[in-house]
Amino acid sequence: MASPRILIHLDHNPHPRVFDQIMSLDGGADQILAHGDVDPQDVPVLVSGALYSRPRDELHRTAPLITGTNDHVIDEMVRQARRAFFGPYRISLMSECKGGSTVAAATVTRVRQLVTLTKARVVVVGGGPAGARVAGILASEGARVRLSVFDDEEASERQAFVAETFKEEIETVVWKTGEPLKDLVGGARVVVTAGPPGLALLPRRVWSAIDGLELLVDISGAEPAGIEGLSGEEDGDAIPNGHHTILAVGGLAVSRYKIRVHRAAVQGLFEREAVVLVDLPETGDRLDELLYVDQEELASIQGFDDSVAEALREGTRVLDHSRRRVPERAVADDTAAPASRGTSRVPN
């Protein structure tokens, strides 16, 4: 009889997210050992317990999931977890900051199914962990991406993150909730809102006036929607706008796709040894497939695209973008630093 698949859920917040645990059970974990308020320095001891408790041929049936709300802390937790690895004693590991990696991968995959991204102007409103990842993957798909950021420090961090993780460049614009949006979203073919749940960012009067707009996407599944006029259930639906229509994808639809990606990610952790998934790789045919399969078929999917599938087959290859630097910041605030080189500012 095979030993149970155990997922060790480590979170630096007091209460590990229930969402992540449900996704893990649905993704194939038999048991979850959850630990909250985890200090990065405690991670090696916790991970070592997984390495010594099973024979080598069963190590792949144990995997840590590191989650939280602060990228800096998660980075350090991943680094400390890998300190416990030695020789062939390695286990698969996945990390998520506010669900940013899986929601970004699902979002961009759906977007590229609806519009052509090559050289398209795409604006991402909201530069948090999810927004930064959406921007990075969009850029890797050939889009010309503009990301709104809170201040110049965040602009530098986001640009560095995208350059290091995705080997791409993006434009950043300092913008705060309540400031004019016309210059931020002007000329966009696609607009994605990636703000906090329940914060309306894009009024209808603004998006309806964007010349050449083809697609609206909101990644928040809460009310009110991040884009005025969307219910959340839109999934490529056409919205009338004067003499033409605009396609839309609402937050609830994005959430359903994120669930599929997240479940498959967890399943991939148990397929082979030593796969480190800290930022999902660029979108590809595998993600396209994920967004269209039935739930029963998820069990047959191994990985997200060819690069991850290859890593799973090799068993010892590590996919590691863990040196990212994307700290958590509020979307709205009353302070603003002077503009830095390479970063523009929305005029008042």
Q: Which residues pair with 148 in a beta bridge?
A: 173
- Domain identity same for 50 and 74: yes
Query: Is 346 part of any domain?
Result: no
Q: What pLDDT is attached to residue 175?
A: 93
Give pLDDT tens digits for 109-126: 999 999 999 999 999 999
Whether residue 69 is found in the same domain as residue 193: no
Any domain includes 323: no
Measured between alpha carbons, how far is residue 208 from residues 12, 202, 204, 217, 246 in Å?
42, 10, 6, 14, 9
Q: Quick check: 166 and 139 in contact, CB under 8 A?
A: yes
Instruction: Specify the range with the lowest mean pLDDT, choosing from 56-65, 177-186, 306-315.
Output: 306-315
Within this chain, do residues 87 and 123 fall inside the same structural domain, yes or no? no
CATH number at residue 77: 3.40.50.10280
Please name the helix (run of DSSP H) or strand (run of DSSP E) that holds residue 171, with its range, or none.
strand 171-174
pLDDT given for residue 324 in this prediction: 35
Q: Is residue 63 part of a domain?
A: yes
Pair (80, 168) in one structural domain: no
- What DSSP line would sit under 58-85, residue for residue? GGGGEEEEEEES-HHHHHHHHHHHHHT-
123 and 184 part of one domain: yes
Inside any domain, residue 197:
yes
Shortest CA distance to 225 belongs to which of 186, 192, 256, 257? 192
Specify if 232 maps to a domain. yes
pLDDT digits 0-9 by tens, 151-190: 999 899 999 989 988 899 999 999 988 889 999 999 999 9
CA distance 109 to 98: 19
- Is 341 among the domain residues? no
Give one word for 164, left, alpha or beta, with left for phi > 0 and alpha for psi -120 to 50. Answer: alpha
290 or 149, which is more confident: 149
Residues 56 and 121 occupy one common structural domain: no
CATH code of 169's domain: 3.40.50.720
285-308 b/e (C-beta count within 10 Å ≥ 16 → b): ebbebbbeeeeeebeebebbbeeb
Q: Do 91 and 235 sit in the same domain of this protein?
A: no
Checking if the pLDDT of 222 tops 90, the result is no
Residue 342 belongs to some domain of the structure: no
Q: Is residue 321 part of a domain?
A: no
What range does the domain containing 120 cover? 100-253
Cα 241 to Cα 226: distance, rounded to the nearest angstrom = 18
Give residue 43's Cα distance to chain centre: 23
Count of structural domains within the chain: 2
